[in-house]
Every structure is written in C-alpha cells, then in structure tokens.
C-alpha cells in the first residue's frame, strides 16, 4: 500500500513547491502573466513526459527485425532467417495499455498546472 502512495506524495510535494516558488517570485515583483506562462510550460512538459513514458511501454516496434553484420561464414552458408510467429507478435501488440502510477500523477500535475495558469491569466 505504501508503494502506491509514493507518486501521490511526490506529486503533492511538487505542486506545493511550485506554489511556494510562484508565491516568492510574485512577491519579488514578477508579473502574474510570466508566472502563468512558466506554470503552463511546466504543465506541458509534465504531460509530454507522461506521454513518452506511456509510449515506451506500448510495444510499438514488436515484430521488427534487427539487422546485424553477418560474418563471412554466415554469408557463405546463406541460411534463410527463421520466420517470426505472427501470433506472438499480434498478442504482444494487442495488449491493453498499462498506466503506471507515475504516468497518472504526471498527467494530473500537468493538468493542474495548466488549469492554474489559465485561471491566473483570466
């Protein structure tokens, strides 16, 4: 149970740190528009990182062959490459997407920062 709460705790800590840094920057004279722009960019970056993490588990390149250099003996033997089992590849590609806790919290934090940025500029 404790493992499941770690991303949520780090997510909350990250949002609190962003709020504190934003408050300090605003108190030191940085305009709210610049702060909202920074929050918006950080939110977009978090969402992009979440998407990249999600796509890294998606088995997009399952079934592609890797070419390697053949030795002289292998070229002389000219044995054909073994055929791939297409059922195994299809099973792997058709698996449902797995959403990790870190992905979910990255997306939630990114969305919260974008919403804050939009609300501040209104």
Of 106, 122, 115, residue with least CA distance to 40: 115
Are 37 and 120 spatial neighbours (Cβ–Cβ below 8 Å)?
A: no
> Cα–Cα distance between 33 and 26 in angstroms, integer?
10
**Which residues fall within 8 angstroms of residue 14, CB to CB, at 6 or more apart?**
109
Give the pLDDT of the chain (122 residues) as one tens digit per residue.
Answer: 456 667 778 778 888 888 898 889 888 988 888 989 998 999 999 999 988 888 877 777 666 666 666 676 666 676 666 677 778 777 877 778 777 888 888 888 899 989 989 998 88
């Amino acid at each position: 149970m404790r493992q499941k709460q770690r991303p949520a705790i780090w997510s909350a800590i990250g949002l609190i740190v962003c709020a504190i840094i934003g408050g300090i920057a605003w108190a030191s004279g940085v305009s709210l528009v610049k702060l909202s722009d920074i929050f918006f960019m950080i939110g977009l970056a978090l969402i992009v990182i979440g998407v990249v993490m999600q796509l890294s588990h998606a088995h997009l390149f399952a079934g592609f062959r890797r070419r390697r250099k053949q030795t002289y003996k292998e070229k002389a033997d000219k044995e054909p490459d073994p055929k791939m089992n297409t059922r195994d590849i299809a099973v792997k590609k058709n698996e449902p997407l797995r959403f990790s806790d870190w992905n979910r919290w990255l997306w939630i934090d990114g969305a919260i920062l974008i919403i804050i940025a939009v609300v501040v500029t209104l």
